[in-house]
A and B are shown apart, each in its own frame.
Chain A
Amino acid sequence: MTEYILRVEGLSKAYGGVLAVSSVSFGVKEGELLGVIGPNGSGKTTLVNLITGFVRPNGGKVYFKDKEITGLPPYKIVNLGISRTFQMVRPFYHLPAFKNLVIPLCSPRVREAAGGGYGDRDAVALDLLEEVGFERDSFVSYKVASSLPQGYLKRLELAKALSLRPEVFILDELFSGLSLAEVASIVPVIEKLKDQGKTIIMVEHRLKELFKIADRVIVLNFGEKIADGPPAEVMEHPAVKAAYLGTE
């Protein structure tokens, strides 16, 4: 039994001749908020896709609670307790916002967590939307997702992940495309999850906001892990400085 709830060992993925993720290893402790940063094209989203089963790795293993989950289909990984958001939001555009949540609320994981029944999914969905900042008495929750602005779609994406009651959240660039005010309204939701003891992996470009809440950060560059440690320490690492600022 290791101290990590989620562990990645030597994970690699190549697309043709391009090594998107190269032998990356790390672990996340229960209740920890791990930031994953790196310049564009450094393999952050590929790493998320590999962990969540959306892409099959060429090598390496992923363990969740010491059980190997490498190569499992995404829905099985979700039902084990790992939920993710997408960098490019993927709502069900033709459904009203609250109905978007009814889909994950139909999952076996939620049924199990609710003791075999589903209850009133619509009511649960509306509560979840309120939790991420949808105004309860407005019509926003009832509007079709295609008519919602980006800020609401990002919150909807987070609400979808919340609805699955996971143990590990993987949030892929949740803050991108959001205003400072919108980020400020989402941060408390993440802090609340952290207080509840949930494990969170945040892939982010918005370092300032991330460093305020992250316990630890790993840095990727050209698919390789180049640093791992507390945020302030990591940013002082010469390889990280070189990756972000370049070398003379």
Chain B
Amino acid sequence: MEGKKAELRKERIDRGIKARSDDIFALNSWREALFLLGPRAVPVVGLLLVGPFFSPYMREILISTASYALLAISWEFMMTAGLTSLGQSLLFGVGAYFTGILNYYLKFPWFLSIPVATVTGSLLVTLLLVFVLRLRGVYFSMITLVLPLMFMRLIEATRILGGTEGLTGLDAFPNQWVSYYLIMLALLFALFGFRRLQDSDYGLILRAIKDDDRSVMNAGLNVYWYKAQALFIGGCVGCFAGAFGTHYDMFCGMPGFALDYSIMPIACALLGGGGTFAGSVVGAFILVPLAEVLRAFGALRIVFYGSFLTFSIVALPEGLFHFLSRKYHQIERYVEVR
């Protein structure tokens, strides 16, 4: 209307290239193919080809980041099936101790102790939690929070498995490249593998359980069996991180059950963006290096760290990955309201 200031509203629309690169159409041209493959190629190229050229200190941080990213992916996967774990340290600690036992007492080499500990450790955790799978929400979470603390005190009080000293002098990886590529390949496998699984019919069932487990029961599916599977699969990833850490540090001990391994993965997943595995990885690649950078602030480190975390989550409640993904796929513009 003339004389009246036009009202504007924000509009989001898909970029043309997004439509042009959908599905088989990505083969239209190199540009479209690159639009689709670019974001997927970044972690692969970055971790496998660029990372190894970093300084040993930086590589150490990358390896630590990858471990947390694996725990965050494991947490996110369990969340897919509605299992809210507050005890990722249980997975890390059990994986670490199982590897320690296999290597220290049974003299298993690292290439055997890691896979065996990954599977048996996750199996133990699944068996421990299978009886509480009927619990929902915070009730299940509380059990997962308590179990690692119980394990810690049990080891301390009974002095088994090296007691407070832990098991030391364990076999190291043959060289730094083996350890680096092992954890990075595991991370990429978990990232892309779970992404694929999530879109399969199996992933659909897990998501449906989170939505409404009674309705899934009414669909003729044993919800508890699927939850146990999700726990085992997610558990394998968490236990692998712990098993890897044991050979990397040549040590396993009570710190494996530390609360850090429970809280940090959740922070990574939330900062990166819940509901996506890539978000968990993005979150880990921000928070873990940030913790290192903030070491210079000494006792104030946790203040800055907490402030950053709070500010990020408040400013970007959808998570960084969703924000970046939206910017990549869509354009925003203001249009006149008619």
**B216 CB–A CB distance under 8 Å:** yes
Q: Is the CB of A103 within 8 A of B216?
A: yes
A117 to chain B, nearest CB (A): 13
Q: Is B221 an interface residue (CB 8 A)?
A: yes
A90 B215 Cβ-Cβ under 8 A? yes
How far, in angstroms, from A153 to B92 measured CA to CA in the complex?
43
B22 located at the interface, meaning its Cβ lies under 8 Å from any Cβ of chain A in the complex: no
Q: Does A108 contact B (CB under 8 A)?
A: yes
> Within the complex, which residue of A73, A95, A109, A110 is in contact with B211, where a contact is CB–CB below 8 Å?
A95
Nearest residue, chain A, Cβ from B223: A75
Q: How many A-B residue pairs have CB under 8 A?
A: 73
Across the interface, do A90 and B221 meet the contact criterion of CB distance under 8 Å?
A: no
Asked whether, in the complex, the Cβ of B222 is within 8 Å of the Cβ of A109, the reply is no
Q: Which residues of A contact B219 (CB under 8 A)?
A: 75, 78, 103-104, 106-107, 160, 164
Answer whether A91 and B221 are a contact pair too, CB < 8 Å, given A103-B208, A106-B201.
no
A207–B221 alpha-carbon span in the complex (Å): 33
Q: Is A93 an interface residue (CB 8 A)?
A: yes
In the bound complex, how far is the Cα of B221 from the Cα of A104, in angstroms? 8
| B-chain residues with CB within 8 Å of residue A79 when the two chains form the complex | 220
Chain A residues whose C-beta falls within 8 Å of the C-beta of B205 in the assembled complex = 103, 106
Q: B207 interface residue, CB < 8 Å from A? A: yes
Question: Are A84's CB and B207's CB within 8 A?
Answer: no
Residues of chain B at interface, number, CB under 8 A: 17
The one of B207, B212, B215, B217 in contact with A73, judged by C-beta atoms closer than 8 angstroms, is: B217
- CA gap between A54 and B211 in the complex, in Å: 17
Scan residues 190-234 of chain B and give those whose CB is less than 8 A from a CB of chain A.
201, 204-205, 207-208, 211-212, 214-223
Q: Does A78 contact B201, Cβ atoms closer than 8 Å? A: no
Question: Which chain A residue has the least Cβ–Cβ distance from B220?
Answer: A107
* The one of A86, A102, A108 that contacts B218, using a Cβ cutoff of 8 Å: A86
| Nearest chain A residue, comparing its CB with the CB of B202 | A106
Contact: B204 with A102, CB < 8 Å?
yes
A92 B201 Cβ-Cβ under 8 A: no
Shortest Cβ distance from B249 into chain A, in angstroms?
Answer: 41
- Contact present for A92 and B223 (CB under 8 Å): no
Q: Which B residues are in CB contact (< 8 Å) with A78?
A: 217-220
Instruction: Please tell me if the beta carbons of A109 and B208 are within 8 angstroms of each other in the complex.
Output: no
Instruction: Among A54, A93, A99, A164, point to the contact of B220 (Cβ < 8 A).
Output: A164
CA A104 to CA B216, docked complex, whole Å? 8
Decide if B211 touches A102 in the complex (CB within 8 Å): no
Given contacts A95-B204, A102-B204, whether A107 and B221 have CB atoms under 8 Å apart is yes
| Contact call A110/B204, Cβ cutoff below 8 A | no
CA of A54 to CA of B205 in the docked complex: distance in angstroms?
Answer: 20
- Chain A residues positioned under 8 Å from B221 (CB to CB): 75, 103-104, 106-107
Least distance between B158 CB and chain A CB atoms (Å) = 39
B residues near A108, Cβ cutoff 8 Å? 220
A110 contacts which chain B residues (CB < 8 A)? 220
Please name the 6 residue pairs, one residue from A and one from B, whose CB atoms are nearest each other, closest first.
A107-B220, A104-B219, A78-B220, A90-B215, A74-B217, A92-B211
